[in-house]
Every structure is written in structure tokens, then in C-alpha cells.
Amino acid sequence: MKALAVVLGIIFVILAILTATGAAHFAPVLGLNGERHTKHTILYAVIAILCFVWARMSTESAPANR
């Protein structure tokens, strides 16, 4: 699950950058029409941070080496 959280975090960081710069005109189906949307940028950034927190807090079941 840690890998999933990191991948989702990276995707949301990229979406935040694309919506902040207005360079996301290639996917109008996803709501990215090339206009700057400050609320969307903030939302994507917060979701990315939450994904990275999820990755940090998730525990993988690894054998304990002592």
C-alpha cells in the first residue's frame, strides 16, 4: 500500500502543478481545460500531502531483524 500512496501522491503533485500553471489543456474530460483554478490546485496539493502522509504512516509487514 505504501507504493500506491507514493504513486498517487506523485500524480496529484503533477496535477497541482498543471492546474497552477494552466498547462493542463489536454484533458478536458478530467476537468483540466487549461484555465488556472486556484481551488483545484490547493485541493490537489492537499491530497498529495495526505497521500505522502499515508505512505509515511503505513506499515509494511516486514520481518523483524534484530
What are 10-51's pLDDT values in tens digits? 999 998 898 888 776 666 666 666 667 788 889 999 999 999
Name the residue among 24, 11, 15 with its Cα closest to residue 55: 11
Confidence (pLDDT) at 18: 85
Rounded to the nearest 5 degrees, what angle is found at the Cα of 18, between the Cα atoms of 55 and 45? 35
Name the residue among 24, 13, 17, 21 with its Cα closest to residue 48: 13
- In Å, what is the CA distance from 26 to each residue of 21, 38, 50, 52? 13, 18, 26, 26
pLDDT exceeds cutoff 70 at 66: no
Confidence (pLDDT) at 10: 97
Confidence (pLDDT) at 59: 75
Compare 20 and 60 and report the one with higher pLDDT. 20
